[in-house]
Structure 1
């Protein structure tokens, strides 16, 4: 009985709706990150002062940061610009981009 309860919890929390982010594909992310490179660099090292480096960051952190911009949870000086840049991207796109930059040295 106890094992069945834990198995049902495990099943419930492994459903896609409860996933933190989709599995990212770094190769796809490199292509999808085209417009990101103008501020964050092709390898995640920012080319402009005041812009964050994204290379080697945790993929989940990057994903959640992009989602926060999309959802107006990160406003700041660059919030509107980032929201516009991310407006055409879906969750898979964000996960792919996050995975790409996370794998950059």
Structure 2
């Protein structure tokens, strides 16, 4: 049993890398978002939220809520429909990494 416990940190590191979001893919997907939320995630339109620097988990939660329909915003619906789970993770990672 102790032999396996020693490998636990390595397994956790590898698991985290497997689940790591692709920031470059998120940046590519964010091109569409930039029309309302700004090129660097800072909205130019009053009343639209800044996405730069937001918490990753919060962004994923909100994107999922839009996609599932529990958070209603008609303007977001056409943009959310094609997003996959990976797309949402990647977008969140991209915006969370901006200052």
**Equivalent residues, number:** 84
From 69, 88, 101, give the equivalent of 2:95. 101
* TM-score normalized by the length of structure 2: 0.78
Superposition CA RMSD, Å:
1.8
- 1:81 is displaced (CA, Å) by 1.5
Q: Please list the CA deviations of residues 40-98 of structure 1 after superposition, one character each: whole Å capped at 9, or x if unmatched.
A: 011110011110001100111101101000111111xxx12112111111000111011
* Structure 1 runs (4+) greater than 4 angstroms displaced: none
Q: Does 1:89 align with 2:86?
A: no
Structure 2 equivalent of residue 65 of structure 1: 62
SS in 2 for 1:64: helix
Give the whole-Å Cα distance in 1 for the aligned partners of 2:44 and 2:22: 24
Could you list the runs of 5+ residues in structure 2 that have no partner in the other structure?
2-11, 13-18
- 1:23 is displaced (CA, Å) by 3.0
Could you list the runs of 5+ residues in structure 1 that have no partner in the other structure?
4-13, 15-21
Structure with higher helix content? 2
SS in 2 for 1:39: helix
Give the whole-Å Cα distance in 2 for the aligned partners of 1:55 and 1:83: 21
Structure 2 equivalent of residue 54 of structure 1: 51
* TM-score normalized by the length of structure 1: 0.73
